[in-house]
């Protein structure tokens, strides 16, 4: 299955999240059965990211969005953690600071975009300004409703400068979210993640679904597509995201640059040094 097509929000289409099964897991029945394939794509990610870094002509921006406990951190850890940190950064967008609020909503985003040869992962992103801002009426509808076009223009500008953009909405069910909240309550190593706001936000679930549907529908473009990833099964989420990133990178026709030195001359010097070492 070509996951680039299977989970992509086709530009111009209208997304209805209730029609997408968050527990979908393709042909695999369990994590154990999928382990070999997951490891294969992790290795491919390592290789392709090294090639992207060496090629140095393009950059990759990966945006992760999800409801609370949707798996953004887990995706970064298990999938994108396969990459070499020398050419990879993670940027988390939290509640805006006073300085950020004093500027337009994209002011804090552009400096975080990747440079050539680099992969940057946004843990949440500029889409928060048409999601949480909308759901909680932090700005007027007349303000946030104009932001879709500005987001599309911003991403178009990045794409024209050779940044490849992949955006993932990690789609979990309301029931799975509650189960993950309980897991946090029961695990001392995860209790620090718990906040009362997590539970209060559940009362806005339908409002968030409507906000996500409009963002996914209006801002999935050929140069910056959205992918809706079934994420109730963490292992399938990891497999799907890694496959999509690998399939996209494989289509970039990247090449290692030619050596900057005379390889034959260096090889001769090496052999001469070896002979001298053995003659001692």
In this structure, what CATH number is given to the domain that contains residue 132? 3.40.50.300
CB 207 within 8 A of CB 3: no
Distances (CA, A) of 123 to 26, 70, 80, 120, 232: 26, 12, 12, 10, 19
Q: Please state, as a whole number, how many other Cβ atoms lie within 10 Å of the Cβ of residue 16.
A: 11
Q: 33-64 pLDDT, tens per residue?
A: 999 999 999 999 999 999 999 999 999 999 99
Q: 73-107 pLDDT, tens per residue?
A: 999 998 888 898 889 999 999 999 999 999 999 99
Percent of the chain at pLDDT > 90 equals 79
Structural domain of 259: 3-279
Distances (CA, A) of 182 to 191, 193, 201, 239, 256: 10, 12, 15, 25, 48
pLDDT of 186 reads 87
- Mean pLDDT for all residues in the chain: 93
The number of domains in the chain is 1
Percent of the chain at pLDDT > 70 equals 99
Does the pLDDT of residue 131 top 90, yes or no?
yes
pLDDT of 81 reads 86
Q: How far apart are CA 110 and CA 115, in angstroms?
A: 11
CB 181 within 8 A of CB 172: no
Q: How far apart are CA 32 and CA 112, in angstroms?
A: 37
CB 39 within 8 A of CB 243: no
Residues 6+ apart with CB under 8 A from 149: none
pLDDT of 166 reads 98
Tokens found for residue 138: 């932090």
Q: 112-126 pLDDT, tens per residue?
A: 999 999 999 999 999
pLDDT of 4 reads 87
**Which secondary structure element, helix H or strand E, spans residue 239, and what is its range?**
helix 234-250
Of 82 and 150, the structure prediction assigns the larger pLDDT to 150
Helices within 92-233 (DSSP H only):
98-101, 132-135, 141-144, 147-160, 174-186, 196-201, 205-218
pLDDT of 1 reads 63
Does the pLDDT of residue 215 top 70, yes or no?
yes
What's the half-sphere exposure (Cβ side, CA atoms, 13 Å) at 254? 26
Q: 228-246 pLDDT, tens per residue?
A: 999 999 999 999 999 999 9
pTM score: 0.92
């Amino acid at each position: 299955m070509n996951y680039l097509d299977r989970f992509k929000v086709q530009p111009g289409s209208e997304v209805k999240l209730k029609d997408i099964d968050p527990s979908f897991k393709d042909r695999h029945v369990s994590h154990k059965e999928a382990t070999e394939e997951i490891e294969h794509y992790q290795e491919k990610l390592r290789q392709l990211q090294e090639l992207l870094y060496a090629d140095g002509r393009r950059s990759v921006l990966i945006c992760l969005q999800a409801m609370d406990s949707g798996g953004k951190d887990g995706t970064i850890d298990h999938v994108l953690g396969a990459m070499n940190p020398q050419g990879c950064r993670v940027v988390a967008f939290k509640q805006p600071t006073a300085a950020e609020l004093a500027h337009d909503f994209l002011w804090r985003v552009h400096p975080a975009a990747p440079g050539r040869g680099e992969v940057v992962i946004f843990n949440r992103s500029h889409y928060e300004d048409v999601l949480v801002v909308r759901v909680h009426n932090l700005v007027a509808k007349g303000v946030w409703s104009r932001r879709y076009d500005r987001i599309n223009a911003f991403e178009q500008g990045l794409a024209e400068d050779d940044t490849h953009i992949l955006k993932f909405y990690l789609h979990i069910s309301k029931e799975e979210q509650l189960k993950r909240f309980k897991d946090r309550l029961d695990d001392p190593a995860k209790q620090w993640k718990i906040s009362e706001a997590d539970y209060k936000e559940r009362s806005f679930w339908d409002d968030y679904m409507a906000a996500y549907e409009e963002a996914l529908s209006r801002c999935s473009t050929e140069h910056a597509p959205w992918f809706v990833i079934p994420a109730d099964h963490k292992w399938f989420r990891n497999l799907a995201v890694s496959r999509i990133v690998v399939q996209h990178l494989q289509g970039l026709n990247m090449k290692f640059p030619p050596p900057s030195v005379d390889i034959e001359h260096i090889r001769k010097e090496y052999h001469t040094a070896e002979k001298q070492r053995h003659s001692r």
